[in-house]
Amino acid sequence: MGRRGATGLAGILLVDKPAGLTSHDVVARIRRLTGEGRVGHAGTLDPMATGLLVILVGPYTRLEPYMSSADKTYNATITFGSSTDTEDAEGAVVASAEVPDSVLDRTFAERVLAGFLGPQKQRPPAYSAIKVNGTVAHRAARSGSPIELAERDITVFEAQVLGVDARQCAWNVSFRVSKGTYIRSLARDLGEAVGVPSHLSGLRRTASGPLSVEDSHRLDELTDVVGAFTDPIAALGLPVIHVEDTMIANGSPLDIALARGLAVDTDVTVVCNGILRAIYRVTGDRLVPRVVLPSADIS
């Protein structure tokens, strides 16, 4: 007997998430459209945020760790003059202050952002989905007992001023950041850096690794999910090796010679007859399987 809710579909779908929906809402919509029970996403977007949400269907849900680890690019609007408990526009204002004209100078904004580039520690927002000893941070915060969250290592690779809106006391900024970076917290920290309360008032994810929101599909226009699947090999963005299907049928290790020139601990995409079949990792003397996708599941 087949798995309940297993349709045989396997794919990666790029959705342009609208404001007001959670990432889980989008996943539920795709489940209804496809009838497939195994649907997930690679990288949560808050309800307020819009833009690229990478949806994984069928056995491709097993690719989530590889898709989620990609750098993310965002267009963010950071408003100065008030801060909120959630660090974004959906929260309650907890502090406010006048915004000096100097903060709304583009050269000043560029100089401040330059100081945020590179590896750093970030304090996640109290209102987040992080779990500590089984307790979800945002639920604890709403109950009046916020959890002290440990700082995490992040990297800001790029931070570019797109514009300064003096009337709205806001900076429009493009960020490219590592996995796990909270743009809400960057907005908070920018306010602290300039001495003015601030919060994130707008957010749109424009890219995840090699994937662009320009290639995504609007949720309200999505009817043919299978026809909308993107190329999974390109989506992974990993080095590619081609082998015969029988060589990996039982998850067997592969000859290290297939990965000549690649460093140890590099993940590679394994392709058989043009179809994504596995992800292997380079070790010291061979390639070992990380994910092997059953060929019967691949559409």
Q: Is the pLDDT of residue 73 over 80?
A: yes
Span 221-226, average pLDDT: 89
Give percent of the chain with pLDDT exceeding 70: 93
Query: In terms of domains, do 154 and 270 share one?
Result: no
pLDDT mean across residues, the chain: 92
Q: What is the CATH number of the domain that holds 163?
A: 3.30.2350.10
Query: In terms of domains, do 186 and 112 share one?
Result: yes
Span 220-235, average pLDDT: 93
Q: How many domains does the chain divide into?
A: 3
Q: Is the pLDDT of residue 223 over 60?
A: yes
Residue 2, pLDDT score: 47
Given 16, 25, 46, 245, which residue is catalytic?
A: 46
Q: What is the domain extent for residue 86? A: 72-208
Residue 129, pLDDT score: 72
Query: In terms of domains, do 95 and 21 share one?
Result: no
Distance CA 169, CA 165 (A): 6
Nearest to 87 by CA among 49, 51, 114: 49
Query: In terms of domains, do 131 and 109 share one?
Result: yes
pLDDT tens-place string over residues 1-59: 345 556 789 999 999 999 999 999 999 999 999 999 999 999 999 999 999 999 999 99
pLDDT tens-place string over residues 142-162: 777 677 778 899 999 999 999
Question: With contact defined as beta carbons under 8 Å apart, do 282 and 264 qualify?
Answer: yes
pLDDT tens-place string over residues 231-290: 999 999 999 999 998 999 888 999 999 998 899 999 999 999 999 999 999 998 999 999
- 46 has catalytic annotation: yes
Query: In terms of domains, do 161 and 204 share one?
Result: yes
Q: What is the CATH number of the domain that holds 268?
A: 2.30.130.10
Query: In terms of domains, do 199 and 110 share one?
Result: yes
